[in-house]
Amino acid sequence: MKKILLIIQREYLTRVRKRSFIVMTILGPILMASAFVIPMYIATLTDEEKKVIEVLDETGWFFEKFSDTDEFEFKYTVADLETAKFELMENDEFALLYIPRRELTVPSSAVLYSLRQPGVDLKGYIRNVMSKEVETQKLRINLDEMDLTEEDRERAMKLPDLIRTSITLSTMKMDESGEEEETFTEIMMAVAFVSGMIIYMFIFIFGAQVLRGVMEEKTSRIIEVMVSSVRPFQLMMGKIVGIAMVGLTQFLLWIILTFAIVSVFQVSFADQMPGPDVRMAVTQSAEVSNETAVAGNTQIARVFEVINSINYTVILISFLFFFLGGYLLYAALFAAIGSAVDSETDTQQFMMPVTIPLFLGFIVANMAVYNPDGQLALWFSMIPFTSPIVMMARIPFGVPIEQIWISGALLILGFIFTTWLAARIYRTGILMYGKKVSYRELWKWIRYRG
């Protein structure tokens, strides 16, 4: 045990101290942060022309409630839905907000028709205004029924903060022919895609490091020196675990640095940019400004608000679990390949069966982002070889907990199996030189005893 710790320590320290690791650690967050910061910056540069949003409000609750901002102008229409949609296309306006009448209940949903993808900030703003309004109205109705003094009533009117209402806002993207297509929440998709992508990348990058590390030990005959003091299995596991820790370190540093960079920009942008809602907060009455300011803030803050609404703990824990599980499963196979071959060129024939499931997982994950509960996504998120990537692409949309458990358990079984298999190939392969190894040969090694 002490030896395996020593090996882990060596594998970890030699890699973390490498210049390439430090460069990647700094470069990664800059790239990731720029993915956040650049859109923010561009948002501050939007053209003067306002985007028109038609509001078709069948409930009549929200007339004149949406205030124009720097970017958006709200127009109220009374036409029927079909006409309004037609006009939207005809006049090349930005979007149509349709709030259908509810006969018995208060309004709780709305549809945003748009020719282009509406931004999260717009949707956040609409949702925010609507829920405030519904809350206020609900309260007013209830208060009317009570017999209150004017003073009590005014105090009671501040209660909406306590009785939050949630509004479902679905968006319909329309194409030129007038076809409608429901769009998913972009941020969910982004999170799903990015987590699947990162797992895919990490398995490849760090799996390749395991492969190269094992090959280095074999071809430069370090193994000969090592093998008299440690068992091959210790050496293999020490390397795999050590490199896993390098991966986790890099990942954690990326997250911390990305957030640091983004928040620095967030603060500096917030100072420079009188965001639409900040302005609004000033112009509106005290009561409203108080409420909008809480939820509104700047555009950037709204992006973060949506990001924050995702269940982070679940994503983070599953990310760590599926990253580790997937990495361990593949790293063992990479180690086995590294031990079986004499040179880089010989790796080709064995790489195929390892990279194909990995790549397949990546492709299915791309589809899963559009259909996270489909049969394809479901099955591929259960098979251990593809589950780390595909499951990660599903989780942000919400996956039944028992599915996560089953997939996790299968993944654990999967990596126990590949590690067992790899250990058997490794202990023979690592000391075998000058022999062109075939799959038949590998099978023989697996079956050797002792």
Partner 1 sequence: MAIFLTENVTKRYAGHTALDRVSIEVPEHSIFGLLGPNGAGKTSLIRIINRITGPDEGSLFFKGEKLQQKHIYNIGYLPEERGLYRKMKVGEHAVYLARLKGLSKSDATHKLKVWFDKFDLGDWWNRKVEELSKGMQQKVQFIVTVIHEPELLIFDEPFSGFDPINVELLKKEILRLRDNGTTIIFSTHNMASVEELCDHIALIDRSKKILDGKMKDIKKQYRSDTYSIVFDHFDGLISSFLDERFEIVDEGEDEDRRYASVRITGDLSSKDLLKKLVPKINIYAFNEILPTMNDIFISVVKDNEGK
* Residue 24 engages partner 1 in binding (rule: CB under 8 A): no
* Shortest reach from residue 17's CB to partner 1, in Å: 10
Residue 56 is encoded by which pair of tokens?
Answer: 């078709």
Q: Which two tokens stand for residue 239?
A: 């390397």
10 vs 75 by CB, closer to partner 1:
10
Minimum CB distance to partner 1 smaller for 171 or for 234? 234
Nearer to partner 1, 229 or 345 (CB): 229
Residue among 7 and 336 whose Cβ is closer to partner 1: 7
Is 216 a binding residue for partner 1 by CB under 8 A? The answer is yes
Nearer to partner 1, 4 or 172 (CB): 4
Q: Which of residues 308-347 bind partner 1 (CB under 8 A)?
A: none
| Interatomic CA distance for residues 311 and 91, integer angstroms | 40
Minimum CB distance to partner 1, residue 303 (Å): 43
- Minimum CB separation of residue 22 from partner 1 in Å reads 15
Supply the minimum distance, in Å, between the C-beta of residue 204 and partner 1: 22
Q: Which stretch binds partner 1 (CB under 8 A): 85-93, 120-128, 217-225, 396-404?
A: 217-225
Cβ at position 13, least distance to partner 1 in Å: 9
Residues 219-248 that bind partner 1 (CB under 8 A): 220-222, 224-230
Handedness of CA 414, 312, 171, 178 (dihedral sign): negative
SS (H, E, C) the chain: CHHHHHHHHHHHHHHHCCHHHHHHHHHHHHHHHHHHHHHHHHHHCCCCCCEEEEEEECCCCCCCCCCCCCCEEEEEECCCHHHHHHHHHHCCCCEEEEECCCCCCCCCEEEEEECCCCCHHHHHHHHHHHHHHHHHHHHHHHHHHCCCCHHHHHHHCCHHHHCCCCCEEEEEEECCCCCEEEECCHHHHHHHHHHHHHHHHHHHHHHHHHHHHHHHHHHCCHHHHHCCCCCHHHHHHHHHHHHHHHHHHHHHHHHHHHHHHHHHHHHHHHHHCCCHHHHHHHHCCHHHHHHHHHHCCCHHHHHHHHHHHCCHHHHHHHHHHHHHHHHHHHHHHHHHHHHHCCCHHHHHHHHHHHHHHHHHHHHHHHHHCCCCCCHHHHHHCCCCCCHHHHHHHHHHHCCCHHHHHHHHHHHHHHHHHHHHHHHHHHHHHCCCCCCCCCHHHHHHHHHCCC
Residue 22 found at the interface with partner 1 (CB under 8 A): no
Largest CA distance in the chain: 96
Under the criterion CB under 8 A, does residue 16 sit at the interface with partner 1?
Answer: no
What is the nearest approach in angstroms of partner 1 to the Cβ of residue 217? 8
Report the half-sphere exposure of 123 (CA within 13 A, side-chain side). 24
Name the minimum Å distance from CB 8 to partner 1. Answer: 12
From 10, 75, 140, 435, residue interacting with partner 1 (rule: CB under 8 A): 10
Pick the piece of the chain touching partner 1 (CB under 8 A) from 5-13, 94-102, 144-152, 370-378: 5-13
Q: Any contact of residue 158 with partner 1 (CB under 8 A)?
A: no
The per-type count for the chain, helices as H runs and strands as E runs, is: 17, 6
In this complex, which beta carbon is closest to partner 1, that of residue 115 or of residue 431?
Answer: 431
Window of 4-12, 78-86, 366-374, 377-385 that interacts with partner 1 by CB under 8 A: 4-12
Q: Least CB distance from residue 226 to partner 1, whole Å?
A: 7
Smallest gap, in angstroms, from Cβ of residue 225 to partner 1? 5
Q: Whole-number minimum distance, CB 229 to partner 1, in Å?
A: 4
Is there binding between residue 287 and partner 1 (CB under 8 A)? no
At closest approach, how far in Å is the CB of 450 from partner 1?
A: 5
Of 19 and 272, CB closest to partner 1: 19
Q: Does 435 bind partner 1 (CB under 8 A)?
A: no
User: Please, which residue, 7 or 354, has the CB nearer to partner 1?
Assistant: 7
Size of the site for partner 1 (CB under 8 A): 20
Contact residues for partner 1, defined by CB under 8 A: 3, 6-7, 10, 14, 216-217, 220-222, 224-230, 431, 444, 450
